[in-house]
Structure 1
Amino acid sequence: MESLFSDQMRLNPFPLYRQLRDHKPVFYLDPPGVWTVFRFDDVKAVLSDHARFSSSYGPRQAASDATESALQGGVGPAERARQGSVLITTDPPRHTDLRSLVNRAFTPRAVAALEPRIEAIAHELLDKVAGDGRMDIVGDFAYPLPVIVIAELLGIPAKDRDKFKHWSDEVVASADRMVGGEAAGSQQAHEEMNAYFRGIIEERQRAPEDDLVSALLQAQDGEHKLSEGDILALCWLLLVAGNETTTNLIGNAVRTLLEHEEAFALVREHPTLLSGAIEETLRLRSPIQAMFRRAVEDVTISGQVIPKDAHVVAFIGSANRDERQFADPDLFDITRTPNPHIAFGHGIHFCLGAPLARLEAKVALTVLMERFSSWQLVRDFELTPARGFIVHGVTELPMTFTSR
């Protein structure tokens, strides 16, 4: 199974996913000692049934420290104890309380209000390369756009945005420890990130501003109020999720459209199809390939018993290509209806930032189409997968274009 996590396999894991869905839809992978799940219905059940599959990894002593650290986003037990509650690794009722407080920052109205600023950022980024006729869609555009958006939401100075990218990359890559990889910088990244955000929190406690950190400090629902640890945890979650997911969504969308000329031509002729193209990109090349859970009790899935306290990896990227759910699952069909993909998860842990990611992708692609014509990927360029087996994307994607 080592090949599942190689660079080449991570660039195109989908043929192997199909084999596993057909022949080993649920199996134990040792090392690193986790149960893996690949079919749509099974993955959806694991993600949504919090009564049987906890998002908290609990006291399972058999797991290695590295595995525990990766499952928790690269943070060791001592660091976790200082951080407070992380939205994606808590269960009800604590998850319900946290989500109700944080939801206020991501209402449809609040997200929609960001569109003019996102559009302005997109134009600013493209202004820098418009005269070159060539750009790296990841490094020049798909990476900085969401980083700037989330940094501005959190009230982070522009000079510190590169730190965000470094910290985010290290945290995502820490999941590779589960499969024998290394992520030596993840612990340091967390320590630096916590120290940085503690400073921001102290500043906002003294002098609140119109940003998300100030809003989180003031958020209260009856007796429920966020602790400093809760706010730290939410800051790193928003940083990582808001950066990596959207960066890879934009990069994957450009790559997929340029690889499918007829679909791209349709989108350019009929811009109303862009939303469908984004949803189909989310399904076909899900930015997040896997999520983690812990079995609360013995659970039987596809005839296989997953024992109590076992760690489970649910492969979203495989589920979204399952022919049992999607007709012609390997076909990029921008008119696919319905398209019930689970790229943003399912159930109570459905991605809080999904509307923002969709908006950023829509604005980014719209501005690209308005500004440039005759896009082409640079030929004979060897793609490198994004760091971290839980994500799907590439580190660079050079393309040529003609400015309008």
Structure 2
Amino acid sequence: MNLFSEDMRRNPYPLYDQIRSSSPVLHYPPSDLWMIFDHDGVRRALHDHEAFSSVVSPPGNRTSEWLIFSDPPRHTKLRALISRAFTPRAVAELEPRIRALSRELLDRTIERGEMDLVEDYAVPLPLLVIAEMLGAPVEDQPRFKRWSDVILDLSYTVSGSEEAARAIAAFTEVTAEMQATLRGLIAARRASPRDDLLTRLVGAEVDGERLNEDEILGFFQLLLVAGHETTTNLISNAILCFLEHPTELGRLRAEPHLLPSAIEEVLRYRAPVQAMFRVTRRDVPMHGQVIPAGKPVLAMIGSANRDPGQFSEPERFDIARDPNPHIAFGHGIHFCIGAPLARLEARVALSDLLARLTGLSRASDAPWEPRRAIHVHGPTRLPIRFAPSPRLGA
């Protein structure tokens, strides 16, 4: 059983079903890793910070500054400060610009009647949005993507592979580069504030405390990788789902008001993030086993979202599923702070794609190649063919 093989990462769900029904808590000896597969167990691992710590990054490692790798009380302080800058209103105000970026990207390729959905659209859209949020120039997009790819490669440090040392070295190098860039951007915002996220992060204050430069860098790295990778995979996975379930695609075209519900079903059916890391604070009894204290744990979100104990007919893709208590964005105090942005970008992207691309089909029969990081789910490339519709708003 190779949980990290390409075949497994392309379609992990049959194995998830097998393991969840026989051993919902599984010890994986090659990495001395414990994995939780059922909905209730994963939900607990994500929110019970008394038993499962989020501090999974070694002290001194730059990722230890990230919000998602902290526990209370530090997490409480960081989240309060970041929430002051990353408000629902600030996200909602991005919609016109996201729509303009989406249409610009489609206009570049649509007349060809084919594109690589991932490289031509699903990757650049969230990267352009993040660059704009930070007030960075558009020309920085390729550099942002390179940084994001290096950060994602850190997931291989958990697999026990020989790539781990290379991933850590590359991340150290990239962090120095990011820090130099961010320091310049922060200095510019302090000298001349703008209406962007970085200005708000620099000025955010709670009880007289502000974010320091390392904390802003940590959030920048997190936003870059989570804000880009999650949304890229959400958009790509949605099109994959519709290509595999043409009846549901026809249903959505006939009932466009189902788009928000369809996005939630994509999040459940093909969760962009398949697993989250935790470390046990103490011995944790679960499903007749005991996970020892101090052990790394993978909470398998992708499996939890297909648990028949929680979802009726979990293998059925149903764009009107209700209720849909998926945990694709986590649960509890660590619920994804960027979830409203990811949902907004997906709503804009899919409404534009479905309005302008008709007769959708895959342009290759080859199995799609999974994304770089072992804990995410989605294609690296997705060549598609279509009949182009007229420019929106024309």
Give the alignment's TM-score, normalised by structure 2: 0.94
Correspondence for 1:65: none
Q: Does residue 362 of structure 2 align to residue 377 of structure 1?
A: yes
- C-alpha distance in structure 2 between counterparts of 1:228 and 1:105, whole Å: 15
For residue 41 of structure 1, what is the amino acid of its counterpart? D
SS at match of 1:129: helix
Inter-partner Cα distance in structure 1 for 2:361 and 2:284: 48
For the pair 1:109 / 2:123, whether they are aligned, the reply is no
Query: What is the aligned partner in structure 2 of residue 66 from structure 1?
Result: none
Matches within 5 A, 1:25-44: 25-44=24-43
Residues of 1 paired with 2:189 and 2:32: CA distance? 43
Classify 1:84/1:196 alpha carbon distance in 2 versus 1 (closer, same or farther; 3 Å).
farther
Secondary structure in 2 matching 1:131: helix
**TM-aligned CA distance change 1:84 to 1:261, over 3 Å:** closer
Give matches, 1:3-402, under 5 Å. Answer: 3-57=2-56, 72=57, 77-80=59-62, 85-181=65-161, 182=163, 184=166, 185-402=170-387
Residue 150 of structure 1 aligns with an amino acid whose one-letter code is I
Contact 2:64 2:70 in 1 (8 A): no
Moved more, 24-33 or 243-252: 24-33
Deviation of 1:84 (Å)? 6.8
> In structure 1, the residue corresponding to 2:127 is in which secondary structure?
helix
Which digits, 9 at most, give the CA deviation of each residue in 1:223-267, with x for residues without a partner? 221111111101101111100000000000011111111100010
Root-mean-square deviation (Å): 1.5
Deviation at 1:209, TM superposition (A): 2.2
- Report the number of matched residues: 384
C-alpha separation between the residues in 1 aligned to 2:289 and 2:351? 46
- 2:376 pairs with 1:403: no
Task: Please give the alpha-carbon distance, in whole angstroms, between the structure 2 residues aligned to 1:45 and 1:227.
Answer: 32
C-alpha distance in structure 1 between counterparts of 2:65 and 2:367, whole Å:
40
Alignment match, 2:392: none
- Name the CA distance, whole Å, in 1 between partners of 2:314 and 2:61: 41
1:257-278: CA deviation from partner (whole Å, max 9, x where unpaired): 1111110001001101111111
Question: Distance between the aligned counterparts of 2:26 and 2:355, measured in 1?
Answer: 47
SS in 1 for 2:84: helix
How far has the Cα of 1:77 moved from its partner? 4.5
Q: Which moved more, 1:376-385 or 1:176-185?
A: 176-185
- What is the DSSP-based 3-state SS (H/G/I as helix, E as strand, rest coil) of the residue aligned with 1:243? helix
Shift of residue 198 of structure 1?
Answer: 2.4
Asked whether the equivalents of residues 84 and 228 of structure 1 are also in contact (C-alpha less than 8 Å), the reply is no
Please report how far the alpha carbon of residue 196 of structure 1 lies from its aligned counterpart in structure 2 after TM superposition: 2.1
Cα distance in 1 for partners of 2:297, 2:176 equals 27
| Residues 127 and 144 in structure 2, CA contact (< 8 A), matched pair in contact too | yes
- Structure 1 length-normalised TM: 0.92
Instruction: Structure 2 unaligned segments of length 5 or more: list them.
Output: 390-394
Q: 8 Å contact 1:125–1:141 — kept in the other structure?
A: yes
Output the amino acid matched with 1:315: M
Deviation of 1:97 after TM superposition, in Å, equals 1.3
Q: Hey, what's the Cα distance between the residues in 2 that align with 1:41 and 1:31?
A: 26
Identity of aligned residues (%): 51
Letter in 2 for 1:281: V
Residues 204 and 213, structure 1, Cα contact 8 Å, conserved in 2: yes
Amino acid at match of 1:297: R
With 213-222 and 120-129 compared, the bigger mean Cα shift is at: 213-222
Evaluate the alpha carbon distance shift between residue 24 and residue 195 of structure 1 in structure 2; reply closer, same or farther with a 3 A threshold: farther
Give the gaps of 5 or more residues in structure 1: 58-71
Cα deviation for residue 202 of structure 1 reads 2.7
2:89 alignment partner, SS class: helix
